[in-house]
């Protein structure tokens, strides 16, 4: 995929929470590790952090999921296209969990279908595992803040303010150094993130659990559905290249099942 010229694409729209993020980054010394999946939300977060932090450390963590090659390729494309010198090259670390998760899913695998609700995407222990690696990565690199791109309405038990404050205490207890967990998008919907970050090369991001040759499936997973709905609600043409033609859905009246 060609990477478009991007010098005019770095400006962000104002978004609620950006001032608080700037203050948090400043009080953490200007450096931040960002848990980056290559998805739209975490790539937008990299773009936002690049405007406020002295150094942004994008970190991709492999747990053994089949979509990770497509995700990390997208993340690398996005960071290259962003072309901001304070965003450091993408780093990968690995914490294999697939065998445990296969037991959890009873060998059926993990692929929520196009019409399934958000709860079907729960991966047990995900934020605990990711934050453990990201925080240790921050620790050894002299960074005291880790950011992740949780959105409003996240229903999972490891995505609550209490969970993150408890994790901060646990980390400080175990490593005798403070860590700040930043979740600046928790007041935003995905369509609000898209509006704020429209100028970024969002078409290079990847959020599909059924990618085909590195492209979004378009019609067979609820991450593609979520993406299509968010662009529709944002009122912005979806720039994503889908392998298969997305189903016709009236997203304005659509409701996810519980
Ligand atoms: Zn998909």
Those residues with Cβ within 8 angstroms of residue 219's Cβ, 6 or more apart along the chain or in another chain: 114, 242, 244, 245, 246, 247
Confidence of residue 76 (pLDDT cuts 50, 70, 90): very high
> In this structure, what are the phi and psi dihedrals at residue 66, rounded to the nearest 5 degrees?
-70, -15
Residue 106 pLDDT exceeds 90 = no
Residue 206 alpha carbon to ligand 1 centre in Å: 9
Report CA-CA distances (Å) from 127 to 62, 130, 131, 149, 156: 13, 5, 6, 11, 10
Is the pLDDT score of 86 beyond 70?
Answer: yes
pLDDT digits (tens, 9 = 90+) for 119-174: 888 888 899 999 999 999 999 999 999 999 999 988 899 999 999 999 999 999 99
| Distance in Å, CA 224 to ligand 1 centroid | 4
- How confident is the model over 231-251, as a mean pLDDT? 97
Q: Ligand 1 centroid vs 54 CA: distance in angstroms?
A: 34
H runs (alpha helix) in 60-122: 68-82, 98-104
Confidence of residue 103 (pLDDT cuts 50, 70, 90): confident
Tell whether the torsion through CA atoms of 91, 96, 97 and 98 is positive or negative: positive
Contact 70, 214 (CB under 8 A): yes
Output the CA–CA distances (angstroms, integers) from residue 111 to 102, 105, 140, 255, in the order listed: 12, 10, 35, 20
Decide if pLDDT at 10 tops 80. Answer: no
The answer to whether 10 and 47 are in contact (CB under 8 A) is yes
What's the 85 CA to ligand 1 centre distance in angstroms? 31
Distance 61 CA to ligand 1 centre (A): 20
115 Cα to the center of ligand 1, angstroms: 11
What pLDDT is stored for residue 11 in this prediction? 80
Q: How far is the CA of 116 from the centre of ligand 1 (A)?
A: 12
Domains observed in the chain:
18-234 (3.40.50.620)
Spatial CB neighbours of 21, under 8 Å, sequence gap ≥ 6: 48, 49, 52, 182, 184
Query: What is the distance between the alpha carbons of residues 185 and 192, in angstroms, rounded to a whole number?
Result: 9
Question: Do 112 and 120 form a contact (C-beta atoms < 8 A)?
Answer: yes
Checking if the pLDDT of 78 tops 50, the result is yes
Ligand 1 center from residue 4 Cα (angstroms)? 23
| Residue 193 CA, ligand 1 centroid: distance in Å | 19
Continuous segment of H or E residues that includes residue 206: none
- The Cα–Cα gap between 140 and 33 comes to 11
- Ligand 1 midpoint to CA 92 (Å): 23
pLDDT tens digits, one per residue of 201-240: 999 999 999 999 999 999 999 999 999 999 999 999 999 9
Q: Judge whether residue 8 has pLDDT over 60.
A: no
Q: How confident is the model at residue 187 (pLDDT cuts 50, 70, 90)?
A: very high
pLDDT of residue 190: 97
């Amino acid at each position: 995929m060609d990477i478009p010229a991007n010098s005019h694409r770095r400006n962000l729209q104002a978004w609620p929470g950006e001032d608080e993020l700037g203050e948090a980054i400043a009080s953490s010394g200007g450096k931040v590790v960002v848990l980056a999946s290559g998805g739209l939300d975490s790539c937008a977060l990299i773009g936002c952090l690049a405007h406020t932090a002295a150094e942004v450390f994008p970190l991709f963590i492999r747990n053994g999921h089949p979509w990770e090659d497509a995700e990390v390729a997208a993340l690398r494309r996005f960071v290259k296209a962003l072309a901001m010198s304070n965003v450091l090259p993408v780093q990968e670390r690995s914490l294999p969990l697939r065998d445990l998760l296969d037991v959890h899913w009873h060998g059926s695998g993990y692929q929520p279908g196009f019409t399934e609700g958000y709860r079907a995407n729960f991966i047990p222990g995900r934020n605990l595992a990711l934050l453990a690696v990201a925080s240790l990565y921050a620790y050894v690199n002299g960074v005291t803040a880790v950011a992740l791109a949780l959105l409003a309405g996240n229903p999972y038990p490891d995505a609550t303010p209490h969970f993150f404050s408890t994790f901060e205490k646990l980390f400080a207890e175990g490593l005798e150094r403070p860590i700040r967990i930043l979740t600046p998008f928790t007041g935003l919907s995905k369509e609000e993130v898209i509006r704020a970050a429209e100028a970024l090369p969002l078409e290079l991001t990847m959020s599909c659990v059924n990618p085909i040759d590195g492209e979004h499936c378009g019609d067979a997973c609820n991450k593609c559905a979520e993406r299509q709905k968010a662009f529709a609600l944002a009122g912005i043409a979806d720039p994503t290249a889908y392998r298969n033609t997305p189903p016709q859905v009236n997203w304005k009246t659509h409701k996810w099942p519980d």
